[in-house]
Structure 1
Amino acid sequence: MVKIEPFEVEQWMDRLETTPGSLNVAETCAASVSVDDLIQLCEDKDAASPLLLSRKLTYGAIRGSEALRQRVASLLDRASDAEPLPADNVVITQGAIAANFLTLYTLVGPGDHVICVYPTYQQLYSVPESLGSEVSLWKLKKENGYVPDVRELKGLVQANTKMIVINNPNNPLGSTIPRAILEDIVAFARPKGIIILSDEVYSPLYHSLPAGVEAPPSILALGYEKTIATGSMSKAFALAGIRTGWIASRDKSIIDAVAAARDYTTISVSQLDDQVASYALSRPVVGPLLKRNTELARANLGLLSAWVDKYAEVCSWVKPTAGTTALLQFRKDGVPVDDASFVLDLLDKTKVLVMPASPCFGLGKDFRGFVRMGYVCETAVLLEALPKLGRYVEETLMAKK
């Protein structure tokens, strides 16, 4: 039997996010939109309906509709130095979580070595381990702004290294791997034939980069064939409910392999989900949708940044530049709090929900005192949650003996 570690962040979310009356600032999606919202955002008021209700609900196109796969390919081609990505090099999946699992299930196993950035979404290192691969963690450091140091790859790589896994933007840190670093990773991997898997589920929500700094492209834009990008409609596109994601690669043999492996699992995605995703990524909609989510992220990050500044005595962070999540560390008398206990007590006393980093993103005590906050919720939720969090901090962490 395959042994897989408990998926801690998902189990914590499953247990707590339905707490009655909770203010959920643990959610990692940009505040969700409806189909009606998409129609209102559409710049072409004569555009066809998102759903063709007369279409027979067969399995549909097994790898995803031509329209959706082409729109995903166009999304990944931004700032590309390479030839346009063909639609045939994209497979549509049930969210990015299925995309990541299917990619790893297909490509790595016993005898393989995988290098994975850390911290990141636990799936990206726990699944290769469950499949029998050896995993080395490429630890991100605060002093580097949580950007990977490519020089460290020389000490991590082995003769059997099959894959390097990155996450851009990063969950839970909200940090960005810039283009120059991506190019260095490609330059390291190419002569060794190492596959690069880039989880880009929060891309292209690069909302707070320093002035003059350009958003990085997809890993597929850098001209290396053995690159894979996964993503979904859930985070940057605010459509988690349609459970639609993708796997894309410059290497057609990789796409054919994951498509063949998927025959044993889901076969295809829902035609209804495919239609809504295709509409959301269409030219008249995708621009306004990303503009809405980018502006929401910037505004909410400004509110959270002001809060962190106010409570700098007991709270610190590296301010995110992208995505929807931030990692905050809380201290009492200079000592990091027990973040799991902090989260449960906070929820009990204030109904504010955040996620503890030590059990959900840390191995051992790597992230003691840290909590992950999802700040790209509806602004009204954040405006209600932050004062309650502030009062709790004042009463429990700042109270004088």
Structure 2
Amino acid sequence: MVKIQPFEVEQWMNRLENTPGVLNIAETCAASVSIKDLVQLCTDKDLPSPLSTSKKLTYGAITGSKMLRQRVASLLDRGLSSPQADATSPVTSPLPAENIIITQGAIAANFLLFYTLVGPGDHVVCVYPTYQQLYAVPESLGAEVSLWELTKENHYVPDVKDLESLVKENTKMIVLNNPNNPMGSTTPKSVLEDIISFAKERDIIVFADEVYNPLYHSLPDGQTAPPSILTLGYTKAVATGSMSKAFSLAGIRIGWVAARDESIIEAVAHARDYTTISVSQLDDQVGSYALSEPVLGSLLERNMNLARTNLEILSKFVEKYHSVCSWVKPTAGTTALVQFSKGGLVPVHDPNFVLDVLDKTKVLFMPASPCFGLARDFKGFVRIGYVCETEVLKEALEVLGGYLEKFLLE
């Protein structure tokens, strides 16, 4: 029997997010939208509603509709470039729709990739901290996993020099998460290119979970948003993503696996036959509509503005209570890791802190020590999902401030 550790962040969310009256700043999706919202965001009022269909509800296209896969490919092709290959190369030309498989969210895409590509005898290097699935699943499948630790000193950006000591003869895959969850950090294009160069010399797969792409909303002056890993000239690059985080549509359960290597796509497709077969036609249609030209720009503009507005609100909160909380300010995504301490000296016990805050204020965020790695690495840290509705964030931080003044400030 396959043994796998409990998925802590999901367990915590499942137990607590439906608490009556909860002020939820644990959610990691940009504030969700409805079908009505999407239609209102659409700049082409003649475009039919995504659920206006007379199609019979069969299994539909097994790998996803051609329209949806083409629109995902266009999304991933943004910033297409490579210093290592010319424009006619198959690794730098536009990504074919056939090289994408639509899945039930990025979580299914990630699982299928690991299930297909790694097993006993393989070694995987995974950035850390990150979403638990990215290191727990390959370990459960019998692979050895080494954690590529991100440091505060390097602003939680991977240091490529570390790979020299982490990679082994049997290393099969390097796993990235860009933007990073829970840190909200960005791995810039130059670092991605160095990782690709390193992996290419050793024939190692580079897998990037890009579920928060393209929410690069607060980059430093002069830094541009990095492109998808698939645009950087390496056949063995693989990416996953979804409509949940950056596109506010977790409820339609649409994600994808994309790769230049057709053999990887074929292997994932074969494995998928044993699981979900296809995605819902209705979900596929809504996803296609959201990624259409008349909707996509408006939707991303809404979410980028929301992220910038809310990050500024959270930043002012951290500054106001700097004596008891600290962070590395995020540059992308929807999450931030904030450390709280009693009197600015002793880190709180974050699981107990989360439960006590919820009990006394109805504010919910996630404890980092059980959810994102080893407890010793995250004492007092919590993950805050700040790209919720602005009014929810404001109210949550106001009552949280009252809690800090009563229980943590000295």
Common fold, TM-score beyond 0.5? yes
Question: What CA distance in whole angstroms lies between the structure 1 residues aligned with 2:39 and 2:67?
Answer: 18
SS at match of 1:365: helix
Question: What CA distance in whole angstroms lies between the structure 2 residues aligned with 1:203 and 1:393?
Answer: 33
Query: How many residues are paired up?
Result: 399
Listed as ranges, the gaps of 5+ residues in structure 2 are: 82-91
Aligned residue among 315, 323, 348 for 2:325: 315
Question: What CA distance in whole angstroms lies between the structure 2 residues aligned with 1:296 and 1:98?
Answer: 28
Question: What CA distance in whole angstroms lies between the structure 2 residues aligned with 1:211 and 1:2?
Answer: 47
SS at match of 2:376: coil
Task: Give the TM-score taking structure 2 as reference length.
Answer: 0.97
Shift of 1:94: 0.1
Task: Give the TM-score taking structure 1 as reference length.
Answer: 0.99
Q: Does 1:345 align with 2:353?
A: no
Shift of 1:364: 3.2
Question: 1:344 corresponds to which letter in structure 2?
Answer: L
Alignment of 1:66-215 (within 5 A): 66-81=66-81, 82-215=92-225
Listed as ranges, the gaps of 5+ residues in structure 1 are: none
1:124-174 deviation digits (Å, cap 9, x = unpaired): 000000000000000000000000000000000000000000000000000
Question: What CA distance in whole angstroms lies between the structure 1 residues aligned with 2:59 and 2:163?
Answer: 43
Partner of 2:365: 354
Alignment of 1:188-267 (within 5 A): 188-267=198-277
Question: What CA distance in whole angstroms lies between the structure 2 residues aligned with 1:327 and 1:252?
Answer: 37
Partner of 1:32: 32
Q: Does 1:65 align with 2:76?
A: no
Shift of 1:53: 2.6
Shift of 1:46: 1.0
Question: What CA distance in whole angstroms lies between the structure 1 residues aligned with 2:64 and 2:144?
Answer: 33
Partner of 1:56: 56
Question: What CA distance in whole angstroms lies between the structure 2 residues aligned with 1:207 and 1:151?
Answer: 28
Partner of 2:289: 279
Aligned residue among 402, 406, 409 for 1:391: 402
Give aligned-pair identity as a percent: 73
Question: What CA distance in whole angstroms lies between the structure 1 residues aligned with 2:130 and 2:256?
Answer: 19
Whether the aligned pair in 1 keeps the contact of 2:132 and 2:373 (CA below 8 Å) is: no
1:261-299 deviation digits (Å, cap 9, x = unpaired): 000000000000000000000011001000000000000
Question: What CA distance in whole angstroms lies between the structure 2 residues aligned with 1:381 and 1:54?
Answer: 39
Shift of 1:362: 2.1
Shift of 1:383: 1.0
1:233-260 deviation digits (Å, cap 9, x = unpaired): 0000000000000000011110010000
